[in-house]
């Protein structure tokens, strides 16, 4: 049986300030918890009702009524898990090796999660988030990543200084409507692909660190592409150039 204090703690984790204070995050749902368990993510606690089909030995059993009180959703799932927040340090030399997807102020949590999934699909080495991106440990980010949250190396850091330190060592590709055709990129085994926010694009500080502007040719009348769609096209072109 969950105590009042345990219920309050679980419910408080819906807010970033409490996640940061406690160093914990919560994720709810049979599919996403199953994906993270399959990826061997080390949960601190798992709470489940008798209807959950997962490994019974890994979970603290709770009643459906208790799960409804702990749940962050109008319709509670059968399982809820708590993980420990871990921040990976980023060294300047890290960005000079392999392929990096850098997100500059992408604030939609679903987009951030999808971008993690894209980076995982194309076997990028890491994802770097600016501090004004959606919180990595937001439920919507983790849900949208479809398990890639547990597989990708993700760093959060001030993006402009990190790019300034790396741009003499590796190309920094910024998505821009006035850039060169992405389909003409040469093979690049080491590169940083920078995706701007949904509304304003790349910030001025980050734009100043871009060494090569690229664009996806437009053939119709749409004003722009979704950040995740644009990233997928660019990542695919980088990988195809190497194959």
- Domain spans of the chain? 4-84, 92-242
**Per-residue pLDDT tens for 174-202?**
988 888 999 988 889 999 999 998 778 89
**pLDDT tens-digit profile of 85-138?**
999 999 888 999 999 999 999 999 999 999 999 999 999 999 999 999 999 999
Q: How many CB atoms lie within 10 A of CB 123?
A: 10
**4-84: CATH superfamily:** Ribosomal protein L30/S12 (3.30.1330.30)
By DSSP bridging, strand 24-28 and strand 79-84 are antiparallel
How far is CA 113 from each of CA 21, 33, 83, 105, rounded to the nearest angstrom?
A: 23, 15, 17, 14
Q: Which stretches within the chain are classed as H helix?
A: 4-12, 16-22, 30-38, 64-70, 109-121, 139-145, 148-151, 159-166, 204-207, 227-242
Q: Which two tokens stand for residue 221?
A: 């009348």
CA–CA dist 19, 12 (Å, integer): 8
Q: Is the pLDDT of residue 158 over 60?
A: yes
> Model-level pTM?
0.92
CB atoms closer than 10 angstroms to residue 171:
17
**Three-state DSSP class for 220?**
coil
| Least confidently predicted of 33-42, 51-60, 92-101, 214-223 | 51-60
Sequence-ordered list of residues with C-beta below 8 angstroms from that of 171, at least 6 positions apart, any chain:
188, 190, 191, 192, 211, 212
The answer to whether the 4-84 and 92-242 domains have the same CATH topology is: no
Structure tokens at 175: 């998505």
92-242 topology per CATH: Alpha/beta knot (3.40.1280)
Could you tell me the two tokens for 98? Answer: 């392999």
């Amino acid at each position: 049986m969950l105590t009042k204090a345990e219920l309050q703690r679980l419910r408080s984790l819906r807010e970033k300030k409490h996640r940061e204070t406690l160093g914990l995050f919560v994720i709810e749902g049979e599919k996403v918890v199953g994906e993270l368990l399959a990826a061997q993510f080390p949960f601190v606690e798992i709470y489940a009702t008798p209807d959950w089909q997962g490994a019974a030995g890994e979970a603290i059993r709770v009643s459906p009524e208790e799960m409804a009180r702990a749940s962050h959703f109008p319709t509670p799932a059968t399982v809820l898990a708590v993980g420990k927040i871990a921040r990976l340090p980023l060294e300047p030399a890290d960005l000079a090796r392999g392929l990096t997807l850098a997100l500059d102020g992408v604030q939609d949590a679903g987009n951030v999660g999808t971008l993690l999934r894209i980076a995982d699909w194309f076997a990028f080495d890491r994802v770097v988030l600016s501090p004004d991106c959606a919180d990595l440990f937001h439920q919507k980010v983790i849900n949208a990543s479809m398990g890639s949250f547990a597989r990708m190396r993700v760093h959060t850091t001030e993006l402009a200084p990190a790019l300034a330190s790396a741009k003499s060592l590796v190309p920094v590709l910024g998505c821009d409507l006035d850039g060169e055709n992405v389909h003409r990129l040469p093979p690049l085994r080491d590169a940083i692909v920078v995706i701007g926010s949904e509304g304003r694009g790349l910030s001025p500080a980050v734009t100043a660190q871009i060494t090569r502007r690229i664009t996806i040719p437009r053939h119709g009348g749409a004003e722009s592409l979704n950040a995740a769609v644009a990233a997928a096209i660019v990542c695919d072109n980088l990988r195809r150039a190497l194959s």
